[in-house]
A and B are shown apart, each in its own frame.
Chain A
């Protein structure tokens, strides 16, 4: 065997010209063979995963402690905090599954990227406060030795919410709650608004709340009929563009699939049952399409412009030094666009967004739209707030989804809360019990009023 191999290998031509060359007309692919042999040897050596019958190195592993469905900002945040809060190094194996490596439809990359503390629920305010602190100290959390420090390109210009007469009392109450939780918000009258932002038309505005970027440093911190509890044993992860799939045995599954969380929940059997029962309560998260437009306006608001949210629902913010602005508007319930694709409707800007913008900022009457894109909100049709924590019946599925347009700004804090729930069994730093799944069955809405 060895002699035959030697005879083949040391044939006259090969020896004469060295290993790099191959003979004319020969089909011997020496480079390919060498790399294959190297791969086989590497897989045989200790530490490599060698299965004698087939090579599965291109598939996910067969066992994992936690499988996170969805690789957007929430899924990655949960993965990060799981590894950061684990008791021993390497105690938990985490697998993050994301179906699109280019993130072309993910809400994370298509988001306008505003972060604010002007919410009505105290839990939301706390989530945002911690997330701002995380972003401020991001180099303490995410820095790698020898790499340059992270630059978030964050604009600490603040967030300005405008309210008309009807919304003024609600805004005042909300500001009281926000100040109680430690957010720095200041209420402004129309005259003060005009003085500070001379480019703004304050007609119809009764009150405005200007939120500075504030952060917190420290948190003060279950019938007689049979109930069947289910457990997810395996997650079948199918590789793109092929028929192969890998059954990953896991202990916990985290649903962080954003706009598609409803479908993932259906795969686990959540919602399959008679309606009105806990088995029949579906996860009420569905994708809703939202448009973002980028326009240029040479006489527009200056460097000091915060992210302004009009009472009509239109919002905009400045981008960069070149008088470019990003903005959009959430459509009314009846006019929801079809979420089947991410095509942009330019008429929506003409009819619904531009009039409000031009009325609020007269300089925006002459603007030119440069680009536009669309992204999905993982819209919680029940109360527009996130779903966090385990499912009562499918005991090892945890949710981290449904944030309806404020997921990106709350992701670090939510990731930490879900990791705490998984590792300790209860929330430690921020108590997110109003956001558990059981509220859909019990009918207790944790309604957030300040939704854009």
Chain B
């Protein structure tokens, strides 16, 4: 709550802010940003007037509903064309890319989905690249039906969290490669669920901001999955440097690619 006398921080003119709903969503993805001490004009108004708060809540609800709508499962397509085509349709609609077995990567082109998608009823999908897609727990249903999936990339997906990871055990038989880099909601508790994926050979857990201790988590995940190559934080990250190393290490960035 802003105290009445606190200084208002007008970050930008109000008309530049766009819909408060979008700001609310971006703040939910970036937890550090919302803990800024000052409040913007819109936040101040929402604290003091019920009408403004109601409008902002309504806009936020609309954002949430939009994401939910995108993640509905299309039962008609699943029944008519099979689970592989349904999964591919879902991913392509979200903006990701799909690779069927023995075929090239299929990406959504601007003019709509290519016609040959509908002919691939029996061809299993072996790789999915869903980077940056707004996939939620519900939407994961479409991916979990792909029983021959070998490589899955969920890089920088804003809605993939620990609960989603707890469902991935259904792909344990086939999944070889998994990338979770840059997902803002995944913490070490979700990574603990990955131990069911015993066939995994490559796991990328770099740049996870919600993991409390990346170096220690990397060690524990490596212990949990002995046959898997875990990319991510360097184990030395987070260790305190001794005095002579500190002066040497001033400019080097501790986060490897």
Contacts and interface: CB of A to CB of B under 8 A. Distances in A.
Contacts of A147: 34
B92 interface: no
A146 B191 contact: no
B145 interface: no
A156 B224 contact: no
Contacts of B163: 136, 154, 156, 213
B160 to A, nearest CB: 13
Contacts of B189: 153-157
Interface stretch (B108-116, B127-135, B213-221, B240-248): B213-221
Contacts of A151: 210
Interface string A206-227: 0000001100010000000000
Contact of B162 (A140, A154, A158): A154
A5 interface: no
Given A149-B28, A302-B224, A321-B213, A156 B60 contact: no
Contacts of A154: 162-163, 189
A107 B162 CA distance: 27
B34 A302 contact: no
Contacts of B43: 146
Contacts of B195: 302-304
A148 interface: yes
B34 A146 contact: yes
A54 interface: no
Contact of B137 (A136, A153, A302): A136
Contacts of A140: 64
A431 B26 CA distance: 40
Contact of B192 (A148, A153, A303, A322): A303
Interface string A127-165: 000000000100110010111110101111110000000
B56 interface: yes
Contact of B46 (A145, A217, A322): A145
Given A213-B163, A302-B220, A321-B217, A146 B192 contact: no
Contacts of B24: 145-146
Chain B contact residues, majority secondary structure: helix
Interface residues of B, number: 39
Interface residues of A, number: 24
Interface string B188-212: 1111110100000000000000101
Contacts of A149: 28, 31
B224 A145 contact: no
B166 A213 contact: yes
B165 interface: yes
Contacts of B162: 154-156
B53 interface: yes
Contacts of A148: 27-28, 31, 34-35
A136 B24 CA distance: 19
B24 to A, nearest CB: 6
Contacts of A139: 28
Given A145-B24, A303-B224, A321 B165 contact: no
Contacts of A136: 137, 163
Interface centre among B53, B166, B216, B220 (most CB of A within 10 A): B166
Interface string A327-361: 00000000000000000000000000000000000
A145 B57 contact: yes
A157 B188 contact: no
B229 interface: no
Contacts of B60: 143, 145
Contacts of A217: 138
Contacts of A145: 20, 24, 46, 53, 56-57, 60
Contacts of A213: 163, 166
A304 B222 CA distance: 11
Chain A contact residues, majority secondary structure: loop
B165 A156 contact: yes
B169 interface: yes
Nearest to B163: A136
Given A140-B64, A321-B213, A303 B191 contact: yes
Contacts of B53: 145
B143 to A, nearest CB: 17
Contact of B166 (A146, A156, A303, A322): A156
A212 B166 contact: yes
B46 A157 contact: no
B34 A156 contact: no
A316 to B, nearest CB: 15
A212 B217 CA distance: 22
Interface string B42-56: 010011000001001
A303 B212 contact: no
Contact of B190 (A156, A212, A304): A156
A148 B34 CA distance: 6
B217 A146 contact: no
Given A145-B24, A148-B27, A212 B221 contact: no
B193 to A, nearest CB: 5
A117 to B, nearest CB: 13
Nearest to B25: A149
Given A212-B166, A213-B166, A304 B192 contact: yes
A329 to B, nearest CB: 24
A11 to B, nearest CB: 30
A149 B210 CA distance: 13
Interface string A50-77: 0000000000000000000000000000
A157 B27 contact: no
A155 B162 CA distance: 8
Counting from the closest, the 9 A-B pairs by CB-CB distance are A156-B166, A304-B195, A303-B192, A155-B189, A149-B28, A303-B220, A145-B56, A148-B34, A148-B31
Interface of B: 20, 24, 27-28, 31, 34-35, 43, 46-47, 53, 56-57, 60, 64, 137-138, 162-163, 165-166, 169, 187-193, 195, 210, 212-213, 216-217, 220-221, 223-224
Given A156-B193, A212-B169, 6 more contacts: A146-B43, A149-B28, A151-B210, A157-B189, A213-B163, A304-B195
12 contacts: A140-B64, A149-B28, A151-B210, A153-B187, A156-B192, A217-B138, A302-B223, A303-B191, A303-B221, A303-B223, A304-B192, A321-B188
